[in-house]
């Protein structure tokens, strides 16, 4: 029972995160930083498919904030 509660809480946390569409990021250095961050930390991205069949990758805003801070140093 504890495992189920833990899994549900992680799932709900992931759903509650503020997400950013990857296509909205135009800076190549930012995209390179995000790619490295995702690879190094084995983190996730989310793919959304709308009613028209258009696919959109979304990443948590905290990843973008991390890379913005890293690039501004």
pLDDT along the chain (73 residues), means of 10: 44 65 92 92 83 89 93 88
Half-sphere exposure of 43 (CA within 13 A, CB side): 17
What CA–CA distance (Å, rounded) separates 44 from 23?
A: 16
- Residue 36 pLDDT: 92
What CA–CA distance (Å, rounded) separates 73 from 68?
A: 9
For β-strands 19-21 and 46-49, DSSP reports them as unpaired
Question: pTM of the full predicted structure?
Answer: 0.66
**Structural domain boundaries in the chain:** 18-71
Interior CA angle at 55 toward 52 and 57, to 5°?
Answer: 150
- Residue 52 pLDDT: 87
In angstroms, what is the C-alpha Rg of the chain?
14
- Residue 16 pLDDT: 59
- Residue 43 pLDDT: 79
């Amino acid at each position: 029972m504890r495992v189920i509660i833990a899994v549900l809480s992680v799932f709900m946390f992931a759903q509650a995160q503020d997400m950013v569409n990857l296509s909205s990021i135009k800076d190549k250095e930012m995209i390179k930083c995000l790619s490295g961050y995702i690879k190094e930390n084995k983190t996730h991205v989310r793919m959304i498919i709308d009613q028209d069949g258009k696919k959109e990758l979304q990443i948590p805003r905290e990843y973008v904030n991390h890379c913005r801070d890293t690039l501004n140093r």
